[in-house]
Structure 1
Amino acid sequence: MAVVILYGSEAGTAEQVAEHLVDVLSEFGDGDVALYDMTDYDPGDLDPEDFHVVVCSTYGDGELPTGAEPFHEALEDDEPDLTGVRFALFGMGDSVYDTFNRGGEIMAAKLVSLGAEQVGEHARHDASGSVKPTAQAEEWARKIGAEFLS
């Protein structure tokens, strides 16, 4: 089973986290891991044979980052049947805002509403915390890999 990592970023941190996860998740399963910016990924390519990891930041007043908007809009417009698609989500935000990690929540809700199944812990990185996003993502991804890819 291939792992498809999709990221939606505004300032580039979600992209850095996603790039780091390629190395971490390549240690599990058959090691086949692909990385895509959500702006370049067609929701019609979401394949139940793959395992999906979504890394999504939050922007502004709890909106999706610019990098996730085209993907989300395509999901809304096309409404693909995502039955059988499994995904894990690593959300990013800042707890100083009332809309902490809302971008990841919006993306997860849209995928689930179309039939996809969210698995594992919905991770929520806090930019105001002391843990670096790549460190938290690595720990989270190792749990995801052991549970769903081994």
Structure 2
Amino acid sequence: MSSVRFVGEYRPKLDDKGRLTLPARFRDDLAGGLVVTKGQDHSLSVYRTEEFDAIAARIVEASRSNPDLRAFQRTFFAGSEEQRPDGQGRIVLSAAHRTYAGLSKECVVFGAYDHVEIWDSAAWDEYQARHEEDFSAANSAALNAVL
């Protein structure tokens, strides 16, 4: 398991060229290369190249005998793009990724421990409001399950 962990929430703006400035706290860990993928709930997921390669190896191995996983594999890899942040810590989000995630100028970038997620700000705020009670109710159950 990687010693890199991503935590915290940030609200950068997407510029007119589709560029997003990564939070300063994430830049060093992503400077060597990253992969942007379609994530859950119409978000984007950002993985360090090494983490993506480890996940990819598990997906490929598991999908050899499972038709559902093969379908997931095709969608997952087709919707993935390799990137290297520029000198200002920016990445370019493709039109396809921006459309998939419904991104406007206002974005939310947050750490999800082993990866980073990118959401449209309004969609993230709505998601948070919708799931706050679930989070509170599940908090003790989830902690008991892992502790």
TM-score for the superposition, normalised by structure 1: 0.26
Higher relative contact order structure (alpha carbons within 8 Å, sequence separation ≥ 6): 2
Larger radius of gyration: 2
